[in-house]
Amino acid sequence: MMRYIKLVNFELGRFLKIYLVLVGLTLVLQLLGVFLEANGYLGEVEELVVNGNLTQEQFLHDYGYFSFNDVSRSGWFIVPILFCILTLMIYVFFIWYRDWVGKNTFAYRLLMLPTARINVFYAKATAIFLMVLGLVSLQLVYLPIENSVLRMMVPSDFRIDMTVDQILNGFDNLRVIFPTSLIQFIINYGIGFTAVFVLFTAILFERSFRWKGIILGLIFGAVAVVVFISPILVQAFVLPEFFYPMELFILVVITGLIVLAGTIWTSNFLLNKKIRV
């Protein structure tokens, strides 16, 4: 257990500098978005109400109140989140392939450690999962800060105050990342975690068999997807309206666990019997 924890800590440490850049960049750009969006709105207020002919009531009727939704739907808020997602998606591959870079590959030493090789697999997956949860958690910390900055900038007569829950409920395009219930959180991140396991296994196929491994990895990924959604396929094409929603959900959970178990078994086999270091 201690070796596994050390491996997780090691993997987190290798990505720490880039991770801190993502954390800082997200906060800076989102705060900048709050400032620019609020400042733009206040500029319209000054131009049309203070220096213009519109009354406050007319302005609010035509342009509406300012709220955090105006910030969260802007590129300043969404683009840093998408950039973090893209970076972590790339790192899912990089976390394995950088171990094979150079003549004296680090992969050899890593896989020769006095611990089960599958622990290397678990440690890399855990590191990815912790980094994802860390970014999501920090975003939830950032929201009250950004919301407070907005309140300081925009007068109460021109704004609608929103709680963090209300802000999260307004994330139509980011609902997968910020689920509003525990069940939805488990579903979304359970699927994501399983997808990472499948990708890791596909990478191990490639590392084990090279060009043939790419084809085997693609086949494995396709089979995993089909197995996972097989209850939905049966419901749609074989037995229409046969399962109740809860039954269908339970079946999908079962097939998800089968896929997860299959990826772990296959990865363990490849790491112990086929992998080239």
- For 184-207, write each residue's pLDDT tens digit: 888 888 898 999 999 999 999 988
**pLDDT of the residue at 34:** 93
172 pLDDT exceeds 80? no
Mean pLDDT to the nearest integer, 247-253: 88
Confidence band (pLDDT; 50, 70, 90) for 104?
low
Distances in whole angstroms, Cα of residue 13 to Cα of each of 29, 75, 123, 196, 249 = 25, 30, 12, 20, 38
Residue closest to 171 by CA, chosen among 253, 82, 239, 110: 82
Confidence band (pLDDT; 50, 70, 90) for 159?
confident
Which range, of 45-54, 99-108, 256-265, averages the lowest pLDDT?
99-108
- For 203-229, write each residue's pLDDT tens digit: 999 888 888 989 999 999 999 999 999
Which range, of 5-9, 80-84, 127-131, 133-137, averages the lowest pLDDT?
5-9
Which range, of 95-99, 118-122, 138-142, 220-224, averages the lowest pLDDT?
95-99
276 pLDDT exceeds 80? no
pTM of the model: 0.85
3-state secondary structure 152-203: HHCCHHHECCCCHHHHHHCCHHHCCCCCCCHHHHHHHHHHHHHHHHHHHHHH
Number of helices (H) and strands (E), helices first, in the chain? 11, 0
With b for 16 or more beta-carbon neighbours within 10 A and e for fewer, the 64-81 pattern comes to: ebbbbbbbbebebbbebb
Distance CA 31, CA 145 (A): 9
Half-sphere exposure (CA, 13 Å, Cβ side) for 273?
6
